[in-house]
Amino acid sequence: MSRKIFDSEHEMFRDSVRNFMQKEVLPYRDKWHEQGIVDREAFLKAGQQGLLLMWADEKYGGAGIADFRYEQVLIEENARYGDAGFFMTLHSRLVGPYIGELGTEEQKARWLPKCVTGEHILAFAITEPGAGSDVAGIRTKAEDKGDHYLLNGSKTYISNGILADLVVVVARTDQSSRHGLSLFVVERGMEGFERGRNLKKMGLKSQDTAELFFDNVKVPKENLLGELNRGFYQLMHFLAEERLLGAVGYLAAADAAFDITMDYIKERKAFGQTIADFQNSRFKMADMRMNIDVAQAFIDQCVEEHDRGELSADAAAKAKLFTSELECRVIDDCVQLHGGAGYMDEYPICRMYLNARVSTIYAGSSEVMREIIARSVGLDPRKKKKEAGEIQASAA
Ligand SMILES: Cc1cc2nc3c(=O)[nH]c(=O)nc-3n(C[C@H](O)[C@H](O)[C@H](O)COP(=O)(O)OP(=O)(O)OC[C@H]3O[C@@H](n4cnc5c(N)ncnc54)[C@H](O)[C@@H]3O)c2cc1C
């Protein structure tokens, strides 16, 4: 399906990104998979190429490109020719904007330039052993000690957790409110900040996903990001973009899996014909193509809405939910069409299958997405309870 949202500049950019992925990422895929972590040099090379924090102002070394379509191109090319565990988008467009939008001039000047060059790698730490989907359950706390905050607690499942030089940490600063959270930038080398294990995972083997520990870390007051106690609402503000970033990647992975499978079934023979000749294969491929193309039209529309500042929380939730579940279904069918080869690590589809499984879990699970969408169509039990409470109160 021809897509209408890109112009010639985006296409030229796509060519250069593809070249970068084929030269600087693809050859290292197996090495990174084996070692369980991407080489830092990959971020430095991406920085040299101008691919990190493209939105950052020129005075911080960025290109000042806010147009989301450039990030979309990056994600799509990384899904096809790069490595799913190379989380440059998490660095650039998921964590970086917290500093870009919430940071003071001093903070931006201090942190952004090295993030643009890739010398500093970013991570974002919300999840704790006891709090995942329920962000308001966070127990890591930061106490005001006059000239600094004292940070205590732990985080888990943190992407880029081992590589990160700067971690935006969500911590409780107001014990009296479930939403009394704030954001802090914790820097590599701060006393009491330790990393735990690089966690062993089902897929995304090259991505370093780690535990982080904070034991009486003295975080200077200058490292509070944004307004005190407003962290919960700041998180909500960035969620739509985070979900769209995910959706673009999940769909790109499904599309890449489709093409890999097409090549395979046209080559492989059984019962005197190619696998592609069986009616079942043709129908499966037709269904996949239909679903991917229909989803792409919706995602491209969401990207345009996002660039106009109009993407709603429920549209982003629909995008995330639909594409992550589609990615899992498509890749499952692709593995089936590969037969035994689909179960072998040496075939790309095998790793894609294992990578895809997390897409419906992180960045807001499918169940949480359904909650958001249900509320947007007026099905909100919390509101109903609140209204009932108010009616009872006014009757009393
Ligand atoms: C590879 C990987 C990378 C990650 N990277 C990061 C990172 O960089 N930073 C970070 O902070 N976190 C990260 N996470 C954590 C991720 O965001 C959480 O795993 C996710 O939010 C789910 O939280 P949980 O694991 O605690 O599951 P839980 O919240 O315990 O959920 C368990 C199950 O209950 C369901 N559930 C929960 N609430 C509801 C509800 N209200 N209604 C219906 N069902 C519900 C869930 O959908 C899920 O099926 C990562 C996780 C993984 C696996």
**CB 133 near ligand 1, within 6 Å:** yes
Q: State yes or no: is 242 an active-site residue.
A: yes
What angle, 0 to 180 degrees and rounded to 10, lies between the N-to-C axes of helices 40-48 and 105-117? 100
The H-or-E segment that residue 170 falls in is strand 166-172
pLDDT digits (tens, 9 = 90+) for 255-300: 999 999 999 999 999 999 999 999 999 999 999 999 999 999 999 9
What spacing in Å lies between the alpha carbon of 61 and ligand 1's midpoint? 35
pLDDT at 391 over 60: no
pLDDT digits (tens, 9 = 90+) for 309-366: 999 999 999 999 999 999 999 999 999 999 999 999 999 999 999 999 999 999 999 9
Could you tell me which of 184, 58, 171 has the C-alpha nearest to residue 116? 58
**CB 362 near ligand 1, within 6 Å:** yes
Helix (H/G/I), strand (E/B), else coil: 220:
strand
**CB 365 near ligand 1, within 6 Å:** yes
Q: What value does the mean pLDDT of the chain take?
A: 96
Domains of the chain: 8-120 (1.10.540.10), 123-228 (2.40.110.10), 233-381 (1.20.140.10)
pTM score, two decimals?
Answer: 0.96
**CB 158 near ligand 1, within 6 Å:** yes
Best residue for ligand 1 mutational test, from 86, 155, 361 (most atoms within 8 Å of Cβ): 361
What spacing in Å lies between the alpha carbon of 364 and ligand 1's midpoint? 6
pLDDT at 384 over 80: no
For ligand 1, atom 17, the nearest C-alpha belongs to 362
pLDDT digits (tens, 9 = 90+) for 170-219: 999 999 999 999 999 999 999 999 999 999 999 999 999 999 999 999 99
pLDDT at 385: 77
pLDDT digits (tens, 9 = 90+) for 240-259: 999 999 999 999 999 999 99
| Distance between CA atoms of residues 261 and 379, nearest Å | 40
Q: How confident is the model at residue 382 (pLDDT cuts 50, 70, 90)?
A: confident
**CB 157 near ligand 1, within 6 Å:** yes
Helix then strand then coil, % of the chain, to nearest 5: 55, 15, 30
**CB 267 near ligand 1, within 6 Å:** no
Tell me 202's DSSP state.
S
| Distance between CA atoms of residues 366 and 354, nearest Å | 17
pLDDT at 393: 46
Hey, what are 98's tokens?
């917290």
pLDDT at 57 over 70: yes
Torsion of Cα atoms, 174 then 239 then 362 then 117, to 10°: -100
Helix (H/G/I), strand (E/B), else coil: 48:
helix
What spacing in Å lies between the alpha carbon of 132 and ligand 1's midpoint? 5
pLDDT at 169 over 60: yes
Q: What percent of the chain has pLDDT over 90?
A: 95
- What is the CA angle 328-202-132, rounded to 5? 80
What spacing in Å lies between the alpha carbon of 140 and ligand 1's midpoint? 17
pLDDT at 390: 55
pLDDT at 383: 81
Q: What percent of the chain has pLDDT over 70?
A: 98
Hey, what are 56's tokens?
């950052």
pLDDT at 28 over 50: yes
> What DSSP letter does each residue of 93-124 carry, written as one string?
IIIHHHHHHH--HHHHHHHHHHHHHTSS-EEE
What spacing in Å lies between the alpha carbon of 382 and ligand 1's midpoint? 21
**Burial label, 49 (beta-carbon count in 10 A; 0-12, 13-18, 19+):** middle
